[in-house]
Chain A
Amino acid sequence: MHFGPHLLLATLEGLVTSAVLALTALGLSLVFGVMRVVNVAHGEFFMLGAVLAWAITSAIGGHPALGFLAALVIAPLIVGAVAVVAERLVLRRLNYNPEATIVATIGMLYIIQQLALTFYGPEARPVEPPFSYRILLPWFGYSGYKLSIIAASAVLLIATWLVLTRTKIGLIMRATQYDSETAQAFGISVGRVYGGVFALGAMLAAIAAVLIVPISQAHYLMGQDPLLLSFIVVIIGGLGSLRGTVVAAVLIGLSDGIISMFFSPTLAKIIATLLVAMVLVFRPQGLFGTASR
């Protein structure tokens, strides 16, 4: 294969990564933006989505598309419910204290991970894609399903953006983000907004996982890489900034695909993590963010 097609392939693979990463990171970013909570268990919600997708598709059987569509609806709902319970039982009682909530979400991470290991097991299990159409390009064939991930993610991102900017729910969320006390004074139930945002963040991660699981596999440790990458995206994009998150996700997703062609994955991770730590030290508002509030 020549360089051009090779680059096209790398770009397509990178865009798939970006698409999934943008959804996952957006969830993390929303939770941090509105609630000021750093959710270390975010990757486990991702993992839970994938594991549930496997459980649902294998329970339903029949045509793969049927099970997949069911998983796409049910898995995020279950994950959202888990998140609401966690928010009610733990985060709310901690008054959303930033440091205490980090410690608590670390606890959640271990609990979810270990429960998955106990009930799901240590195996990696595949989920069949809903359709297996291959698009034939002049140089290579490419999975139609992968392209549909990019499209689905774009639709979901635009939908989330519209909800945040054009609807009353979005207005309430932004009001709470801007000043929760004043929002409370205007009759907004801050507790419910926080519960909803935490669930929404977890559901975005779960949807991303359901989308990716037909081309990767469900495994109880699969939440670690998305967590790290989401952190990187949210920090580079500027904490709590929606547009920055999406731009950074595309940037990281593309460069991840391209970098891992040239370097060993471990070295790529070392460099990326170090760079991001340096961004946080020297430019805490992110590369694209303006001065912090």
Chain B
Amino acid sequence: MSEASPAKAYALHLGAIALLFVLSFLLPEYYHGVLARIMVLAVFAMGYNMLFGYVGLLSLGHAMFFGAGLYGAGLAVIQLGWSVPAAFGAGLGCGAVLSLIIGLLALRTTGVAFMIVTMMFAQVFYLAILYFAAWTGGDQGMVVPQPARVLSFGATSLDLTNPTVRYICALSLFSLVLLITLAIVRSRYGRVLVAIRENEERTKMLGYDTFSNKLAAVVVSGTICAASGAAYALLFGYVGSSFASVQYSILPLLWVLLGGAATTLGPLIGTLFMYYVIDVTSGYTSAYLLIVGIALILLVLFFPKGILGSIRQRWLGWLP
């Protein structure tokens, strides 16, 4: 937010991207897949953070935006036979339209009502997927066939099922969204969003139409989440209704709380950390939701600023 040290902030983010790039050469193949998945889900978390962290709007329904991207892209490939870029665009478009509609409705409420309303709209979305099982595959989901997951430019074509290609695609999307987030947060629009979070009434009295600003934030956030969903469908080849369930509305909240709300790199760290915790504990218990539940409670009780939020408070005030 502050004017100080833009160079440091950009250096840090480019450094993080470079590190992830180098890791693709060092990591064994199994971790390629894991890290690619984490980067795609971190995009989901970054989209969530846009709204929750910077505008202070706590949604319990972001699974519908992820789902809009997932099904928008998945259905376009499977049912309509669209190419990969067109399907990705379809996913983005579905997310943008859905978030615009949801924003127009849900932003009439605030606080607890906003949380419940977003949860209910997401539930409607989820049930609709089950209801229209003839197209969506219901709770079985759909597999995107391998021949459809090829990105072709003229003569050359990239097979998205190849681990290296998949990793690079996930990293590209992640980097792009990270830099977009950083730019938004540092822009004058980002300053207005934070002002709305801190005191909406005061922001209005500085001449800002807070409703339109919040609506724009919902659409940006929803579209980023849809990008994550669309990428998930195309890179990992599975489109399932569980990704639209309540649980996938809670997970990005958890990742963002853990990594640090309103920090640009927090969503990645939160997603990575949670994935790791579940991976380690899976040796002892299959009940990973238990870990999620305990983590949620411990975070709100003792660690509400999350990892990067605490680091920023103690040591690195310039962290964006």
Residues of A within 8 A of B (CB): 38, 90, 93-94, 98-100, 102-104, 106-111, 113-115, 117-118, 228, 231, 235, 264, 266-267, 269-270, 273-274, 276-278, 280-282, 284
Contact = CB atoms under 8 A, between A and B. Distances in A.
B297 A90 contact: yes
10 cross-chain pairs, A with B, having the tightest CB-CB distances, nearest first: A110-B293, A107-B296, A111-B293, A107-B297, A114-B290, A277-B120, A114-B287, A107-B293, A110-B289, A270-B127
Interface stretch (B16-24, B101-109, B308-316): B101-109
A233 to B, nearest CB: 13
A274 B101 CA distance: 13
Contact of A103 (B109, B130, B296): B296
B112 A102 contact: yes
Interface string B183-197: 000000000000000
B124 interface: yes
Given A110-B290, A117-B287, A280-B117, A269 B112 contact: no
A106 B109 CA distance: 21
28 contacts: A38-B112, A90-B301, A98-B111, A99-B111, A102-B60, A102-B112, A103-B257, A103-B300, A106-B296, A107-B293, A107-B294, A107-B295, A110-B289, A111-B293, A113-B289, A114-B287, A114-B290, A115-B290, A118-B285, A228-B123, A231-B120, A266-B131, A270-B124, A273-B127, A277-B105, A278-B105, A281-B106, A281-B108
Given A93-B301, A118-B287, A282-B108, A277 B117 contact: yes
Contacts of A273: 120, 123-124, 127
B76 to A, nearest CB: 23
B300 A280 contact: no
Contacts of B299: 103
Nearest to A101: B300
B116 interface: yes
Contacts of A266: 127, 130-131
A281 B128 contact: no
A287 to B, nearest CB: 15
A8 to B, nearest CB: 30
A267 B131 contact: yes
Nearest to A284: B113
B57 to A, nearest CB: 10
B228 to A, nearest CB: 21
Contacts of B250: 106
Contact of B301 (A94, A102, A267, A282): A94
Contact of B117 (A106, A107, A114, A281): A281
B150 interface: no
A280 B109 contact: yes
Given A115-B290, A273-B120, 20 more contacts: A38-B115, A90-B297, A94-B301, A99-B111, A106-B293, A107-B294, A110-B293, A111-B290, A111-B293, A228-B123, A264-B131, A266-B127, A266-B130, A267-B131, A270-B131, A274-B120, A277-B124, A280-B113, A280-B116, A281-B109
Contacts of B123: 228, 273
Given A267-B131, A270-B128, A114 B293 contact: yes
B97 interface: no
Contacts of B117: 277, 280-281
A281 B115 contact: no
A231 B116 contact: yes
Contacts of B290: 110-111, 114-115, 118
A276 B299 CA distance: 31
B304 interface: yes
Contacts of B1: none
